[in-house]
Amino acid sequence: MDPLRSQCTDAQMERLLKAMDLLRILDREMPAQVTSCFLYVASHKNCHKQAMEEYLDISAASGSRNTDWLGKHHRLGKPGLELIQKEQDPTNRRRAVLNLTDRGQRVVKQLRSILYD
């Protein structure tokens, strides 16, 4: 078999690969855990950060770090991806509510197009 062969043998997996490539364009260093947090927020509007952490089985510190990366300000003074917004829950000031930004919604639309069209 030719080691440079690149013929697609599974179209569904290739769609998933293209979806992951779309996310890698946003940040080539994005870990899978950050991607999972983005997809959780995309599938759970107005979710609490704590619910996301429980579902993904990650610590509060990891949840904060990942949502900061996806939000406006990443750590160490770097700009975030601005895909989600984190706001204080008006009913419980210790909780954060997560939603997609307009940019995040555009990325979700592109992902849907890759996966389902």
* pLDDT (0 to 100) of residue 1: 56
CATH number, residue 84: 1.10.10.10
- pTM for this model (two decimals): 0.90
3-state secondary structure labels for all residues of 1-59: CCCCCCCCCCHHHHHHHHHHHHHHHHCCCCCHHHHHHHHHHHHCCCEEHHHHHHHHCCC
* pLDDT (0 to 100) of residue 98: 97
- 95-112: per-residue pLDDT in tens? 999 999 999 999 999 999
Q: Residue 81 is part of which domain span? A: 12-116
Indicate whether 2 pLDDT > 80.
no
In a domain, 58, yes or no: yes
Indicate whether 115 pLDDT > 90.
yes
Token output for 95: 């909780």
* Domains held by the chain: number: 1
- 31-87: per-residue pLDDT in tens? 999 999 999 999 999 999 999 999 999 999 999 999 999 999 887 788 999 999 999
